[in-house]
Structure 1
Amino acid sequence: MLTAKQHELLHFIHERLGETGVSPSFDEMREALDLKSKSGVHRLISALEERRFIRRLPNRARALEVLKMPELAKPAAPVAMRSPLKVVANDVIEIPMHGRIAAGTPIEALQGTEGFAVPAALLGPGEHYALEVSGDSMVEEGILDGDYALIRKVETAREGEIVVALIDGVEATLKTYRREGQMIRLDPANRHYEAQRYRPDQVAIQGRLAGLIRRY
C-alpha cells in the first residue's frame, strides 16, 4: 500500500515521462507535491524504489523508470482529513484508524480507512483518530510498540505535550514537543534515542495524545 504522497509522486513521474520522455527534476517534484524541501522527495523516491514501483537508471542524471503502477490503489486520506465519529454502542465510539506512526526514527505515516472502537470515557471533547505505535522511543512514558495512541486533532502544541508531528509534509512521529530557541525540539522518552531538532516551517502539529489502548 502506498501513502498518499508516494501515490501522488508516482503518478507525477509517470505522466511527465509520458509527456516528455524525461524524468522531472527534484525541484519540480518538490513543487508538484508542495513539499518544503528536497529531502522529502529523496525519501519518497527511496520508498518507491524499495517497493519496486520505480528504478533509477545508472550513469544518467534525472533518470527514473516507472516499473509498475498500482492497479487499484487509491491515495490514502491525510491525517488531517476530517472524519465524523461513529457511535457503535452506548459507551463505545468508532474513530478513524490512520495506520502506524513511529515512536522512534520517523517513518512515513501510512493512512487507512478502518474504524477503531474506543470506550467513550477515554475521549474528551474534540475530534479524534487512532494510530498504532511503531517503535520504542517513548517507552519511558509508558507508550510501547504495538500500543494504540488516541489522538485529538489540534494544530498547535504547548511545551511538554506529546504530539503527532508531521515532518516536511512527509513523515510523522510521536514525540514530546518543546521549543529550543528558534527551533522545535521533539524529545523521545528513551535514553538510547536523541532529540530531533527542526525549523518551525518543517513541523506541522497533527494532534495531541489523548489516551492509550493496549491489547493483550
Structure 2
Amino acid sequence: MLTRKQLELLEFIKSRIDADGVPPSFDEMKDALELQSKSGIHRLITALEERGFIRRLAHRARALEIVKLPEAMEKGFTPKVIAGDRADQPRGAMPVEAVHALELPVMGRIAAGVPIEAISHISHHVAVPGAMLSGRGQHYALEVKGDSMIEAGINDGDIVVIREQITADNGDIVVALVEDHEATLKRFRRKGSMIALEAANPAYETRVFPDHMVKVQGKLVGLIRTY
C-alpha cells in the first residue's frame, strides 16, 4: 500500500506523461506536492521504485518510466478501510463506521533520552488513521527509545507520527538534529540565538545549543501505542 504522498506523486507523474509525453522535473514535482525541498521527492521516488511502480532509466533526461499502477488508480480511488469486529460501545460513545488508514514509513528509532545517530533509513511501515495526519506536508513515523518525554505521555516503545517541517514554535515537541549527526525528540524553546531542547522528565537536563547547531526535522502530530 502506498502512502498518500507516494500516491499523489505517482498520479502527478502519470498525468504529465499522459499530457506531455515526458515525466515532470524534480522541481515541478516538489512544487506540485508542496514540499520544501527536492530531498523529499528523492525519498518518494526511491519508495515508488522499491515497490515496483516506477523505473529510473539511465542516460536520459527526466528518466522515469511508470511500470505499473496501484489498483486504486486503475479502478478509481477508494479510501482504504480497516474492518474488524466491534465490541459494544461504551455509553455516550460516538459511532464509528470506518477508519481510514494510510501507511507511513518508520524511519528507525528516535531518542527520548540520550541522543542516537541521525535517522537515515526506513525500517518498516505502519498504518495510521488518516485524521492523525494534520495539515499539509509529508509525514513519517519513528519508534521512541527512552523515557525522557514520559511526562508528556510519550513512553519507550511508542510510535510517534511526525509532520516534516523545518520550523517550530516554542513548546512544540520536535525531532531535532543536533550537530548534523544525532537526533532526539524534545520540546523546543528558542531563547534569542540559543535553542533549548527540554525533556519531560526531571531525570534529564535541558540541553542548550547555539541555533546553528540544531535543525528541526519535524513536529509531533500523533502517537501510536501498543498494549
TM-score between the two structures when normalised by the length of structure 2:
0.56
Q: Distance in 2 between matches of 1:164 and 1:124?
A: 16
Q: Give the secondary structure class of the aligned counterpart of 2:151.
A: helix
Q: Distance in 2 between matches of 1:101 and 1:107?
A: 7
Asked if structure 2 preserves the Cα contact closer than 8 Å seen for 1:101 and 1:131, the reply is yes
My pick for the range that moved more, 203-212 or 101-110, is 101-110
Residues 1:116 and 2:107 aligned together: no
Asked if structure 2 preserves the Cα contact closer than 8 Å seen for 1:100 and 1:109, the reply is no
| One-letter code aligned to 2:193 | Q
Residues 1:94 and 2:85 aligned together: no
Please tell me whether Structure 1 or Structure 2 has the larger radius of gyration of its CA atoms.
Answer: 2
Q: Of residues 154, 159, 180 in structure 2, which corresponds to 1:169? A: 180
Q: Give aligned-pair identity as a percent.
A: 50
Gaps spanning 5+ residues in structure 2: where?
Answer: 1-38, 49-71, 73-78, 82-99
Structure 1 runs of 4+ aligned residues shifted over 2 Å read: 80-88, 109-114
* Aligned match of 2:31: none
Q: Distance in 2 between matches of 1:164 and 1:101?
A: 8
* Aligned match of 2:224: 213
* Aligned match of 1:105: 114
Asked if structure 1 preserves the Cα contact closer than 8 Å seen for 2:107 and 2:140, the reply is yes
Q: Give the secondary structure class of the aligned counterpart of 1:98.
A: strand
| One-letter code aligned to 2:125 | G
Higher relative contact order (CA 8 A, sep 6+): 1
TM-score between the two structures when normalised by the length of structure 1:
0.59
Asked if structure 1 preserves the Cα contact closer than 8 Å seen for 2:118 and 2:180, the reply is no
| One-letter code aligned to 1:89 | K
Gaps spanning 5+ residues in structure 1: where?
Answer: 1-79
Q: CA RMSD in A?
A: 2.1
Q: Distance in 2 between matches of 1:177 and 1:110?
A: 19
Q: Distance in 2 between matches of 1:180 and 1:212?
A: 28
**Shift of residue 109 of structure 1?**
3.0
Asked if structure 2 preserves the Cα contact closer than 8 Å seen for 1:185 and 1:195, the reply is yes
Q: Give the secondary structure class of the aligned counterpart of 1:97.
A: strand
**Shift of residue 120 of structure 1?**
1.0
